[in-house]
Structure 1
Amino acid sequence: MNKYITIILLALLATLSACTDDDSFSASTANTLTFSADTVTFDTLFSRVPTATRTFWVYNHSGDGIRCSSVRLENGNQTGYRVNVDGIYLGSAQGYQTNEIEIRDKDSIRVFVELTSPENHAKTPQLLEDNIVFTLKSGVQQKVNLRGYSWDADIIGMLEIRHDTTISAVDKPLIIQQGLRVDSGATLTVARGSTIYFGQRAGMDIYGRLVADGTAEKNVIFRGDRIDKMFDYLPYDRVPGQWQGIHFHTSSYENRLNYTDIHSAYNGVVCDSSSVERLKLQAYNTTIHNCQGYGLKETNCVVDLWNCQITNTLSDCAAFFGGGAMLRHCTIAQFYPFDANRGVALRFSNYDGDKDYPLYQFDVYNTLVTGYADDVVMGDFNKSTDATYMFSHCILRTIKPDTINEQQFRHVTFENVEDTAAITGAKHFRDIDADKQYYDFHLDSLSTAIDSAEVLPNGYSATDRDGRQRDSRPDIGAYEYHHDSSATPAALPRRRR
């Protein structure tokens, strides 16, 4: 028994000795702290909108304990930064500081930083700086810099358009946090060069009419409101599902998107079933990219697409269930990187679920359809109703039919996915970088889409998605390879040419 008591006493002495060593604190100016970052950066943010939380670590590698007589936010509450040091919030009750913080040798503490910046009353983003000041017992001061660019914006919760209205969000960003609704009978016009930012749960519900009238130089942009980064290499603007997208309801007709950029939504554009005697949507020179649902979903209505890029979606990039559609000079590409169970690039059908919808017209000219998978084109039909379709001068990444029906496929190239030397899939484009979520769907110089389109009448092959002039041997897809001049696009008729 005495033997065990002796062992226990020796262990306690050793523990007390270790605690004594750890609890020794130095006031030498040679003993300082080490930080995991000397600057905490928030990039650009909207004023009055809280940021995500940034963190950094404070380490003590000095060889002895260090006491901080104070840790404070240098400018107090003047800049909008909020700081928590080792579980202690530096708020007004504490004078934006905390005292007597101890960091033992080989120990660390964590600091959390957020920012809700005040308005700066300027048209451009303004630098907003502060410092967290660590004052050691030795008198040494160490600082971690806080910096971000604050951008004033008009912030609206729910915006309801009851009468004809024009929105211009050119000089100052417009943020819609809850949603935008256009009532039946009203038209919302969005001026060229406008960018409208949406909160994650916000989208556009169109019961009336939407006109987005951009130009080649001044696109209209619809996007999410996160302008910071998820990682150093990945802005939130490249992450899908940042907002809810555009929904054209049954009562909505004659919508027009021209030189419009819609990206990083849940569903990019959804068109509900309506009368096929009226045009539902005209989309010219429009991009729909990087969606967590569909890019474009059309159900039993009439849509007219020209020079459109529809790319990278979890569900189908472009899906047409009945109705009528005309596609000219479009690029439809499925390189969605987040889920191998992604949809196809192009789907067309005469039913959706248990409902039949006649596909009375589906004409596709000079269009490039490709992607990662071996087959990204899906025509799916039942025999209960009509299904009429035609492809002319297109490149399709799909299985070539055993027998070519000239009424359905005219001068169509079926990508040979087994030929590794062929220019197929990603090889058509300038840059497909899934790691950084960066995609450039302009044609690469080796693409077989170059000089392979037919010249369409009425100026439909005159210009490309960027407003650049096409030459006398136009290229398949939305983009012409290496041309600089621009022309004004002409109107596109509904019916087959």
Structure 2
Amino acid sequence: MKYIITVLISIITLVSISSCRNDFEFTASTGNLEFSQDTIYLDTVFSNIGSSTRTFKVYNRSSDDIVIPRVALNQGTNSNYRLSVDGVPGQVFENVELLAKDSMFVFVETTVDIMDFTSDTEFLYEDTIEFDAGGNLQKVELVTLIQDAVFLFPERDAQGVEETLLLDTDTDGNETRISGFSLDDDQLNFTNEKPYVIYGFAAVPSNKTLTIDAGARIHFHAGSGIIVANEGTLKVNGALSTTEDLENEVIFEGDRLEPLYEDIAGQWTAIWLTAGSKDHEINYATIKNASVGIIMDSSNTTSNGATLKMNNSKILNSSNTALLATTASIEASNSIFHNSGQSTVIARLGGAYNFNNCTISNYWNNSFRQDPTLFLTNIFPNSDLSADLLEANFTNCIIYGDRNIEYALLDDQLSTFNFKFENSLMRFNDFSNSFDGFPSYDITNSSLYENCVFNEDPLFEDEDAFKLRIDNTGGANGIANPTTTTTLDIEGNSRAASPDAGAFESVDLSTN
């Protein structure tokens, strides 16, 4: 009983003290707010696509609890910016309280239809966030670059069902479909007038050619790509650029333009060259941040595999593989295949491959990588399928990375397995002698490895930043064959009398 009385007395005392406490007293803001940023740049966005959300903080450095009479966008409810002040969404806020020595978050985003403002293909959209008014008025500027674009996407029928593409039908009649649409004849030429934004897979129909002009910019939404049907063709007609803007190069990338997404792999799916598609050409292109840069299919016969000529191009930062070729036919020169979550280049189930002055490299650091940068095989892994590897020639190439062994050769001894490395820089540190006795890995066999250099660092400029120029003291310097090397490197520089392996002719990087 004594314990209960003591507790009751304590409660009564607390209530009494509480009843005597005054509520917080807020004084009007005096215009002395501080901001973590005075201008918010929401980066470049496409017309009618929402921006990412930007955040800044508002500080009350004073010793008084204050109330801000008004926080609002200058354009009010007509603004295309959207705010959230301390978790409350809106565009105009009144009597916003902020405690002494405290801060609050303000979130900003926007969606703009460029046609509501201008006929230009891009413009700056601006507004301000105003804090208080009159002599206490303080502002934070908002700036966004809006680009117009050509949007390509699957249509929906009257019932709202989205258009799909048929990929395959099994023996039971079950269909495999993906979100996508076929390009019409008037859509089969991508120009450089506006960027293209693709949702789902844009399909090049049979016996049609998609031509992409120099300087075009192709952006893909998540899960999207280009797919070329049997007998269809892709022609990418990029050209050498003279500035760092790569004004003549064709660039394939995701549709998020903020710096945060600049080097995020796996933002879109792939360029898919299906079985029977043919005569593909890719010149001066950059394909980056895909799951797989290029997929090339076949139906287990070399004559029906996709065919590709690729020159002066780059496939960068693929979450799975840069180039996945199945019984394909590929001729590549002055091209770069760099950084993938698995092997950078995979050539499986045979085919015919000729790579000259190419850089095939992998320094992937987004997750653990166990696969070498180059994988050649005449089988289809985890199946009974086998086909002839008619040729796989790597001449004047760099095949390198941060693993001790950066190429793998898998021969089932049932089909032809023809390959050769010549005048190339390769990484093969077999410290445990695991490959002793395997003829394919006998690097002293000049019929397989002719004039190759092993395990000498190429000294890339910055492999993590996808800068693959090489220093003139690196392992690739002067090792190429002058009679087989390309005349110019990927940047249009003349090859030296003693040319270098890889896509770039070396320079003195110490002066850069």
Please indicate, yes or no, whether the TM-score normalized by the shorter chain is above 0.5: yes
1:302-347 CA-partner distances (Å, limit 9, x unpaired): 1111111000011111011111111111001101110122532111
Structure 1 pair 299–130 and aligned structure 2 pair: CA distance change class (3 A): same
Which 5+ residue runs of structure 1 have no aligned equivalent? 91-95, 231-235, 416-422, 484-497
Q: CA deviation at 1:215?
A: 1.1
Residue 186 of structure 2 corresponds to residue 146 of structure 1: no
Residue 284 of structure 2 corresponds to residue 259 of structure 1: yes
Q: CA deviation at 1:469?
A: 1.8
Other-structure match for 1:406 = 446
Does structure 1 conserve the Cα–Cα contact (< 8 Å) formed by 2:29 and 2:68? Answer: no
1:144-191 CA-partner distances (Å, limit 9, x unpaired): 222222222222224622548652432322211233110111111111
Cα separation, 2, equivalents of 1:27 and 1:246: 59
Cα separation, 1, equivalents of 2:20 and 2:63: 16
Does structure 1 conserve the Cα–Cα contact (< 8 Å) formed by 2:226 and 2:270? Answer: yes
Task: Report the residue type matching 1:300 in the other structure.
Answer: T
Q: What is the TM-score normalised by the length of structure 1?
A: 0.85
Q: CA deviation at 1:352?
A: 1.8
Aligned to 2:72, the other structure's residue is in SS state: strand
Cα separation, 2, equivalents of 1:107 and 1:212: 56
Does structure 2 conserve the Cα–Cα contact (< 8 Å) formed by 1:271 and 1:297? Answer: yes
Cα separation, 2, equivalents of 1:367 and 1:17: 83
1:189-235 CA-partner distances (Å, limit 9, x unpaired): 111121111112210111111000111121221111111122xxxxx
Structure 1 pair 455–148 and aligned structure 2 pair: CA distance change class (3 A): same
Aligned to 1:188, the other structure's residue is in SS state: strand
User: Where in structure 2 are the equivalents of 1:50-199 lying within 5 Å?
Assistant: 50-90=50-90, 96-119=91-114, 120-121=117-118, 123=120, 125-135=122-132, 140-158=136-154, 160-163=182-185, 166-199=188-221
Structure 1 pair 389–140 and aligned structure 2 pair: CA distance change class (3 A): same
Other-structure match for 1:93 = none
Other-structure match for 1:277 = 303
Other-structure match for 1:349 = 377
Structure 1 pair 17–446 and aligned structure 2 pair: CA distance change class (3 A): farther
Does structure 2 conserve the Cα–Cα contact (< 8 Å) formed by 1:122 and 1:152? Answer: no
Q: CA deviation at 1:77?
A: 4.4
Does structure 2 conserve the Cα–Cα contact (< 8 Å) formed by 1:161 and 1:186? Answer: no
Q: CA deviation at 1:454?
A: 0.3
1:285-318 CA-partner distances (Å, limit 9, x unpaired): 1111110111001111211111110000111110
Other-structure match for 2:264 = 239
Task: Report the residue type matching 1:194 in the other structure.
Answer: A
Structure 1 pair 8–124 and aligned structure 2 pair: CA distance change class (3 A): same
User: Where in structure 2 are the equivalents of 1:455-470 lying within 5 Å?
Assistant: 455-457=482-484, 461-470=486-495
- Once structures 1 and 2 are overlaid, which stretch shifts more, 51-60 or 218-227? 51-60
Percent identity, please: 28
Does structure 2 conserve the Cα–Cα contact (< 8 Å) formed by 1:241 and 1:266? Answer: yes
Structure 1 pair 70–82 and aligned structure 2 pair: CA distance change class (3 A): same
Q: CA deviation at 1:472?
A: 2.3
Other-structure match for 2:169 = none
Which of the residues 209, 218, 233 maps onto 2:233? 209
Cα separation, 2, equivalents of 1:147 and 1:17: 50
Does structure 2 conserve the Cα–Cα contact (< 8 Å) formed by 1:79 and 1:128? Answer: no
Q: CA deviation at 1:64?
A: 2.2
Q: How many residues align?
A: 454
Does structure 2 conserve the Cα–Cα contact (< 8 Å) formed by 1:313 and 1:342? Answer: no
Residue 449 of structure 2 corresponds to residue 390 of structure 1: no
Q: CA deviation at 1:8?
A: 2.6
Does structure 2 conserve the Cα–Cα contact (< 8 Å) formed by 1:44 and 1:125? Answer: no
Aligned to 1:277, the other structure's residue is in SS state: helix
Cα separation, 1, equivalents of 2:210 and 2:492: 24
Q: CA deviation at 1:471?
A: 2.4
Cα separation, 1, equivalents of 2:358 and 2:469: 12
Q: CA deviation at 1:85?
A: 2.2
Q: CA deviation at 1:56?
A: 2.6
Structure 1 pair 328–103 and aligned structure 2 pair: CA distance change class (3 A): same
Does structure 2 conserve the Cα–Cα contact (< 8 Å) formed by 1:320 and 1:349? Answer: yes
Aligned to 1:351, the other structure's residue is in SS state: coil
Q: CA deviation at 1:43?
A: 1.7
Which of the residues 334, 345, 358 maps onto 1:330? 358
Other-structure match for 1:317 = 344
Structure 1 pair 183–402 and aligned structure 2 pair: CA distance change class (3 A): closer
Cα separation, 2, equivalents of 1:14 and 1:37: 42
Structure 1 pair 33–13 and aligned structure 2 pair: CA distance change class (3 A): farther
Other-structure match for 2:157 = none
Other-structure match for 1:428 = 459
Cα separation, 2, equivalents of 1:127 and 1:98: 26
Cα separation, 1, equivalents of 2:142 and 2:194: 25
Task: Report the residue type matching 1:411 in the other structure.
Answer: N
Which of the residues 359, 362, 382 maps onto 2:392? 362
Other-structure match for 2:404 = 374
Does structure 2 conserve the Cα–Cα contact (< 8 Å) formed by 1:249 and 1:272? Answer: yes
Cα separation, 2, equivalents of 1:237 and 1:56: 22
Other-structure match for 1:419 = none
Aligned to 2:15, the other structure's residue is in SS state: helix
Does structure 2 conserve the Cα–Cα contact (< 8 Å) formed by 1:461 and 1:474? Answer: no
RMSD: 2.4
Which 5+ residue runs of structure 2 have no aligned equivalent? 155-180, 242-247, 431-440
Other-structure match for 1:492 = none
Which of the residues 241, 246, 249 maps onto 2:274? 249
Q: CA deviation at 1:270?
A: 0.6
Q: What is the TM-score normalised by the length of structure 2?
A: 0.83
Cα separation, 2, equivalents of 1:164 and 1:74: 43
Q: CA deviation at 1:473?
A: 1.8
Does structure 2 conserve the Cα–Cα contact (< 8 Å) formed by 1:169 and 1:196? Answer: no
